[in-house]
């Protein structure tokens, strides 16, 4: 057994010797299954638990400590394999006679890197030490020895009573506390948790409430010393959103009370809102507080690109060892022939020993085949890329003041390789802002109006849905309901018409249930007119919306305390009657239960359980129908729910059961025991809840609208066009999920849609999977461009994704869904979301991305290769757990298609170029070995080699990695443009074994040219100044110059957009070589370094042979690259090449603009795939008279699709592309109609001739309202490439022409 020792609350070492413990003055930490302590027992608790002082620093500045900064930091740095490799090389260089490149050329750069990293880490840790001291020395009021005393935070102990004030330390909580008293009414407390979980909205906590039947007086703020007892709670843990405890005040069962998370104040949070002062009891201190237990390094993910690079490094290492072996063998053979050369004094050399010794020499000589600069360059580039993402205003959500935030930079390139997107629905695709829209009571449904999703569903069927709510009806804080049978809100005075209906009593009871069955808390606020008004705070927008719905329909939730819920019921005469419902228990909602219940006694004394939840859980708990009327009512309710779901509404069922007194009396102790359970409390509460939530009677249903976010349809369609597969994972009903899929362009009419039957057995699921897989494969073979989709339920997924599911089901599911562009999983749990992501990630080997906004999405987000969190109304748990966070779903297209694509292309260039330049330089050393008898003699000066990756080649590729742009972002961000350009990363076209070794082959060829051409040219040459033969260093200087020029110009050839920065770093790097040559070549006379190249600059820079030689080398070496690029762009051009060519024409004023349609007409061969057009389901009917003379042919342009159109806005613009024009000649006195096939949510143009200088177009909105627009021309035959046709603008009035309306 290992005993972990603590000294002053810190872990200091391990061992089992009592003497060690005594010497250190520490105490053994006892393993806690649960914590039990006596309230206000300072001496006992101080000995038992760690102190409240914290340490966030990593290092100690005490040399004898095992955390001493020097050796602990070095230990961490040598966890990097690259540092270990170069340490080995540096060690070999120190062996006398072994290194051909000097003894310190690797050690000094490595030491510099280690030292700079050490200083950075030590300085950062010093700031942590300083901050720890400031925090630990803050003061707090503590009740000790019968009085309030000011003590430092570090001296707090478990069980103490503290007073927190906004005036002291900003109201921060010094430890994890149980709230006992608040300055606000009802014991409420507002807190800010931004330092804890990043969420900026206020949270509500409630003071711990003891059993009113207890024989012990509750906590008294004026006499805190009288508060005694024992607290039992769970052991310290990391869960920020759960707490299980029990407070024991006496010996009777009534003297115990459950302590829940609602009463917990965590360290890291602070007082907020109107709360001025609170009192609390310390439960966890110091490093055992939840905040400190969550202080851990963020999880590290490795991108596919980096993993592939690591595998290539192994091949390069093998290549290096091969070269070393060849040279070692060559050295052994050469050594055996040295006896013929007496002047070498090699008679006593053993060829085998010499060859073995030479291996170390050649390892040193070729050590930088694995570039030391690779990781430095990559990290620099990635960090800057992440910063640029955060400053991109196109991904800034102004309403919530939320920019894009990169929580890691290691996955930037992964954003450019995504194949599968897994998305939550609520809060991710929708706004998570709820409006109470419809409801039903018994067999009657109420509420008018329609939704965007409902209109889309009707349009697919060729129907038009009109919103029949009066224009005067406006949404009011979660309420957008209108039905004249229920209420009349069109006038100044609200009328409660439901009070005159035959089923008034049923409606009244339904509304009362909505006002009572919830966990909403009231606060004093003001309405829009500034008058005092109640405001509702709820854990979820749904619950607040239902309570607001009841309020606006005449039953207002007024107040709640520990034992009562007060509601205010409007009467027909305008008066109000307050009702007080006795509250006994609250069975809270969670994602597994999918329901919440309350046990109450109404004003008439009737004891009942009220329940609301998903129809799937409510219906299975309903009592068996007693008569045909109940059977018919349930059928009607089921049909109503399906109708609500078709409109995309979020539905809940409302039910109740009347309880017998003895049944409740028997059940209540079991529930209390479950409430007070320490460990597995949630599961026990669920089990006990099942005992009483049964035999329910259905009362009615509710329907809430959650609108789609702005830009969601356009974003999904753009991503699908870019080749990505989008999966939506939701808890909604199948009908709701399907209609939302159509509304957000995930599904379309031309798609083959597969559906699994609900409630199928495992055998049926296996059979359907096999059948669907075969059918999908046949469709893909017959028509590869045919889109396919599937809808599957969570119950079916159990037989596919669960651990016990048959492997054949998983395999068939993956084989089937890889042919599907869209997948909708409905009725799924948070755990199933993660399971789906996992099997796709592991089974298909493609890059996956998960995006969500709530805590229930965290498992899915962490499971995927890349996790995206949305900072939404459900908090920031998802954003905190993600790799990248954004404010809205629509920003995903900018993040993936622009930043992800650029990051992938840029990082690929950094990796390939880093290997290329080092292979090129160090292979010239290998070629030189062939001519120096494999002695390991270096062709270059040692410090010239050491400076190669630092001074002469580092910055150009960093500039490319940060700034390079191959096309304008708009060319990939629109359906009218070319989102297919994303294929490069998605299909990994730019990096792989073939591409890597292609660059390696280029480096080998160019290294031969950089070595052999200077050797051939300069071998027979002489120094023009004195006639002496040119030496090795002369040739080495010339070859090195050629290498510097070749690698920098190669980088320039790979650059797609030259900026001033690119010019400065490229030519500056070349210039730095000449500065180095001149300065370093003259240091021998003063500093005694650089003897080999002393005076070299004055010799070679003044010799024409040197200049002509390196120019010849550069031209020949890069000639192949230039020719290949010309050939590729001319005879093997792809979509990117054509787009770049046309952009060049556009910049030169030859082409005004271009789009996909023009590319499809001019160069269809470069398009990777055709686009699927949705089959139109609308029909056009011409009505009204026409006053339009026959004129010249009319030019009609398809309106370009922009973001506004994609999201449902009604904006008509004239197109300016030549391809989409259709020349039509209308018959005399007949309306001219041009029908363009677009998905239902886009505009469809109708052209009418009005004269030689203008064309009018009418486009229908989804609701059937016509929008008129005009296009003015400069004249007949206007040249659109020169701006002859202007954009269409909306007309305020309607012009004379035939009206055509879409049905």
- Residues marked active site are found at 424
Q: What number of other Cβ atoms are within 10 A of residue 1251's Cβ?
A: 12
Give the whole-angstrom CA distance, residue 62 versus residue 67: 8
DSSP-derived 3-state class of residue 438: strand
For 1067-1209, strand residue ranges (E) read 1180-1183, 1194-1196
Give the whole-angstrom CA distance, residue 651 versus residue 670: 32
Q: What number of other Cβ atoms are within 10 A of residue 1115's Cβ?
A: 12
Q: What number of other Cβ atoms are within 10 A of residue 406's Cβ?
A: 23
Tokens at 149, concatenated: 């005393």
Q: Which residue has the tokens 């009740």?
A: 143
H or E stretch covering 11: strand 10-15
Q: Which residue has the tokens 């948790």?
A: 193
Instruction: Say if residue 474 is exposed, middle or buried (CB neighbours under 10 Å; 0-12, 13-18, 19+).
Output: exposed
Listed in sequence order, the residues at least 6 apart from 189 whose beta carbon sits closer than 8 Å to its beta carbon are 179, 182, 204, 205, 206, 207, 265, 271, 275, 278
Residue 1102: how many CA atoms within 13 Å on its side-chain side?
A: 9
Give the whole-angstrom CA distance, residue 166 versus residue 417: 49
Cα-trace Rg, the chain = 38
Listed in sequence order, the residues at least 6 apart from 66 whose beta carbon sits closer than 8 Å to its beta carbon are 12, 13, 72
Cβ(878)–Cβ(422) under 8 Å? no
Q: What is the dihedral of CA 285, 287, 292, 296, to 10 degrees?
A: -170
Cβ(1294)–Cβ(1259) under 8 Å? no
Instruction: Say if residue 1233 is exposed, middle or buried (CB neighbours under 10 Å; 0-12, 13-18, 19+).
Output: middle
H or E stretch covering 1254: strand 1254-1260
Cβ(1256)–Cβ(1268) under 8 Å? yes
Listed in sequence order, the residues at least 6 apart from 1301 whose beta carbon sits closer than 8 Å to its beta carbon are 1180, 1181, 1183, 1260, 1264, 1266
Give the whole-angstrom CA distance, residue 512 versus residue 549: 11
- DSSP annotation of 757 reads P
Cβ(434)–Cβ(326) under 8 Å? no
DSSP-derived 3-state class of residue 310: helix
Classify the C-alpha dihedral 299-303-309-310 as positive or negative: positive
- DSSP annotation of 691 reads H
DSSP-derived 3-state class of residue 213: coil
Q: What angle do CA 286, 292, 293 make, to 5 degrees?
A: 110
Give the distance, in angstroms, between the CA of residue 753 and the centroid of all CA atoms in the same chain.
Answer: 29
Tokens at 426, concatenated: 């609520």
Tokens at 320, concatenated: 């290096």
First to last CA, the chain: 79
Tokens at 47, concatenated: 């000995």
What's the Cα-to-Cα distance from 152 to each of 134, 136, 889, 1133, 1228, rounded to whole Å? 10, 7, 46, 72, 94
Q: What is the dihedral of CA 1182, 1187, 1189, 1190, to 10 degrees?
A: 0
């Amino acid at each position: 057994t290992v005993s972990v020792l603590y000294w002053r609350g810190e872990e200091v070492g391990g061992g089992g010797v009592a003497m060690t413990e005594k010497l250190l003055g520490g105490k053994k930490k006892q393993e806690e299954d649960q914590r039990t302590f006596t309230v206000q027992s300072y001496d006992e608790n101080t000995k038992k638990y760690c102190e409240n002082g914290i340490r966030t620093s990593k290092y100690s500045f005490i040399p004898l400590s095992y955390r001493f900064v020097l050796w602990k930091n070095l230990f961490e740095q040598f966890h990097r394999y690259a540092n270990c490799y170069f340490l080995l090389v540096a060690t070999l260089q120190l062996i006398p006679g072994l290194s051909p490149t000097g003894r310190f050329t690797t050690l000094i750069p490595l030491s510099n890197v280690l030292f700079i990293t050490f200083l950075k880490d030590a300085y950062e840790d010093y700031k942590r030490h300083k901050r720890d001291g400031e925090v630990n020395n803050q003061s707090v009021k503590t009740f000790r020895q019968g009085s309030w005393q000011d003590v430092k935070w570090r001296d707090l102990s478990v069980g103490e009573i503290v007073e927190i004030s906004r005036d002291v330390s900003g109201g921060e909580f010094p430890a994890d506390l149980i709230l006992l008293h608040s300055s606000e009414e009802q014991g409420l407390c507002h807190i800010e948790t931004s330092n804890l979980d990043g969420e900026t909205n206020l949270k509500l906590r409630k003071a711990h409430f003891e059993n009113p039947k207890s024989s012990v007086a509750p906590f008294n703020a004026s006499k805190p010393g009288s508060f005694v007892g024992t607290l039992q709670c769970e052991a310290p843990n990391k869960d920020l959103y759960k707490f299980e405890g029990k407070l024991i005040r006496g010996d009777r069962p009534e003297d115990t009370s459950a302590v829940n998370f609602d009463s917990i104040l965590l360290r890291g949070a602070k007082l907020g809102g109107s709360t001025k002062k609170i009192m609390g009891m310390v439960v966890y201190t110091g490093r055992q507080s939840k905040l400190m237990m969550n202080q851990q390094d963020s999880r590290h993910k490795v991108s596919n690109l980096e993993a592939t690079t690591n595998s290539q490094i192994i091949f390069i290492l093998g290549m290096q060892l091969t070269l070393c072996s060849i040279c070692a063998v060559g050295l052994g053979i050469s050594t055996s022939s040295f006896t013929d050369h007496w002047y070498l004094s090699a008679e006593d050399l053993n060829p085998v020993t010499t060859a073995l010794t030479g291996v170390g020499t050649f390892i040193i000589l070729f050590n930088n085949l694995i570039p030391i600069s690779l990781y430095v360059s990559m990290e620099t580039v990635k960090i800057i890329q992440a910063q640029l993402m955060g400053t991109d205003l196109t991904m800034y959500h102004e309403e919530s003041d939320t920019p894009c935030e990169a929580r890691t930079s290691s996955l930037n390139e992964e954003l450019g390789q995504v194949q599968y997107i897994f998305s939550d629905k609520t809060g991710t695709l929708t706004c998570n802002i709820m409006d109470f829209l419809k409801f039903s009571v018994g067999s009657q449904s109420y509420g008018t109006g329609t939704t965007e999703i409902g209109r889309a569903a009707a349009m697919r069927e060729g129907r038009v849905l009109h919103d029949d709510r009066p224009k005067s009806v406006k949404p009011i804080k979660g309420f957008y309901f209108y039905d004249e049978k229920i209420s009349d809100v069109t006038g100044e005075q609200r009328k409660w018409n439901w009070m005159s209906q035959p089923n008034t009593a049923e409606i009244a009871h339904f509304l009362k249930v909505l006002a009572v069955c919830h966990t909403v808390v009231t606060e004093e606020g003001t309405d829009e007119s500034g008058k005092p008004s109640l405001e509702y705070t709820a854990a979820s927008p749904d619950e607040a919306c239902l309570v607001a719905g009841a309020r606006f329909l005449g039953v207002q939730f007024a107040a709640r305390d520990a034992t009562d819920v007060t509601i205010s019921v409007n009467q027909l005469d305008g008066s109000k009657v307050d009702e007080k419902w006795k509250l006994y228990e609250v069975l809270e909602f969670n994602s597994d239960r999918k329901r919440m219940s309350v046990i109450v006694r109404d004003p008439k004394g009737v004891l009942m359980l009220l329940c609301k939840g998903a129809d799937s859980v409510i219906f299975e708990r309903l009592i068996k129908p007693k008569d045909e009327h109940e059977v018919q009512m349930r059928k009607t309710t089921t049909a109503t729910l399906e109708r609500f779901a078709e409109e995309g509404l979020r539905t809940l069922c409302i039910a109740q059961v009347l309880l017998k007194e003895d049944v409740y009396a028997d059940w209540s102790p079991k529930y209390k025991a479950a409430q007070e359970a320490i460990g597995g409390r949630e599961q026990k509460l669920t089990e006990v809840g099942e005992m009483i939530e049964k035999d329910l009677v259905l009362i009615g249903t509710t329907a809430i609208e959650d609108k789609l976010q702005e830009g969601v349809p356009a974003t999904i369609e753009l991503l699908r066009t870019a080749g990505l597969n989008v999966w939506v994972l939701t808890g909604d009903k199948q009908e709701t999920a399907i209609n939302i899929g159509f509304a957000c362009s995930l599904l379309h009419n031309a798609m083959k849609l597969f559906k699994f039957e609900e409630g199928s057995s495992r055998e049926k699921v296996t059979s359907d999977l096999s059948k669907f897989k075969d059918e999908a494969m046949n469709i893909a073979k017959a028509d590869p461009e045919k889109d396919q989709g599937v809808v599957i339920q969570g119950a079916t997924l159990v037989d596919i994704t669960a651990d016990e599911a048959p492997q054949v089901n998983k395999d068939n599911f993956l084989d089937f869904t890889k042919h599907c562009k869209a997948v909708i999983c409905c009725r799924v749990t948070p755990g199933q979301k993660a399971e789906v992501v996992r099997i796709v990630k592991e089974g298909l080997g493609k890059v996956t991305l998960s995006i969500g906004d709530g805590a229930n999405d965290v498992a899915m987000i962490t499971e995927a290769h890349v996790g995206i969190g949305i900072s939404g109304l459900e908090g920031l748990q998802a954003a905190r757990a993600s790799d990248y966070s954004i404010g809205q779903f629509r920003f995903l297209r900018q993040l993936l298609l622009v930043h992800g694509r650029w990051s992938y292309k840029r990082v690929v260039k950094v990796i390939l170029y880093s290997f290329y330049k080092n292979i090129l330089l160090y292979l010239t050393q290998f070629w030189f070995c062939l001519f120096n008898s494999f002695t390991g003699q270096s062709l270059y000066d040692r410090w010239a080699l050491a400076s190669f990756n630092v001074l002469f080649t580092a910055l150009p590729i960093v500039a490319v990695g940060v700034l390079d742009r191959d096309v304008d972002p708009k060319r990939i961000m629109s359906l009218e443009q070319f989102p297919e350009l994303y294929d490069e990363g998605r299909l990994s076209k730019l990096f792989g074994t073939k591409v890597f070794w292609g660059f390696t082959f280029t480096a080998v060829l160019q290294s031969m040219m950089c070595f052999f051409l200077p050797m051939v040219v300069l071998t027979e040459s002489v120094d023009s100044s004195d006639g002496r033969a040119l030496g090795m260093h002369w040739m080495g200087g010339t070859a090195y110059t050629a290498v510097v020029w070749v690698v920098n110009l190669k980088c320039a050839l790979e650059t797609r957009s030259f900026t001033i920065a690119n010019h400065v770093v490229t030519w500056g790097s070349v210039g730095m070589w000449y500065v180095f040559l001149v300065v370093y070549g003259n240091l021998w006379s003063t500093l005694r370094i650089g003897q080999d190249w002393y005076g070299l600059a004055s010799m070679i820079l003044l010799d024409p042979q040197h200049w002509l030689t390196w120019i010849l080398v550069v031209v020949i070496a890069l000639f192949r690259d230039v020719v290949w690029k010309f050939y590729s762009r001319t005879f093997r051009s792809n979509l990117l090449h054509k787009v770049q060519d046309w952009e060049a024409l556009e910049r030169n004023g030859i082409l005004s603009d271009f789009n996909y349609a023009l590319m499809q007409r001019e160069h269809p061969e470069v398009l990777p795939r055709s686009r699927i057009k949705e089959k139109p389901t609308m029909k056009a009917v011409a009505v009204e008279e026409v006053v339009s003379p026959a004129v010249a042919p009319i030019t009609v342009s398809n309106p370009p699709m922009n973001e506004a159109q994609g999201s449902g806005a009604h904006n008509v613009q004239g197109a300016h592309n030549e391809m989409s024009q259709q020349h039509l000649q209308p018959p005399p006195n007949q309306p001219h109609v041009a029908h363009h096939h677009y998905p239902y949510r886009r505009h469809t143009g109708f052209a009418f001739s009005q004269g030689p200088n203008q064309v009018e177009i009418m486009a229908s909105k989804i609701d059937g309202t016509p929008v008129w627009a005009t296009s003015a021309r400069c004249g007949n035959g206007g040249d659109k490439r020169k701006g002859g046709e202007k954009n269409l603008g909306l007309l305020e009035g309607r012009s004379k022409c035939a009206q055509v309306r879409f049905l």
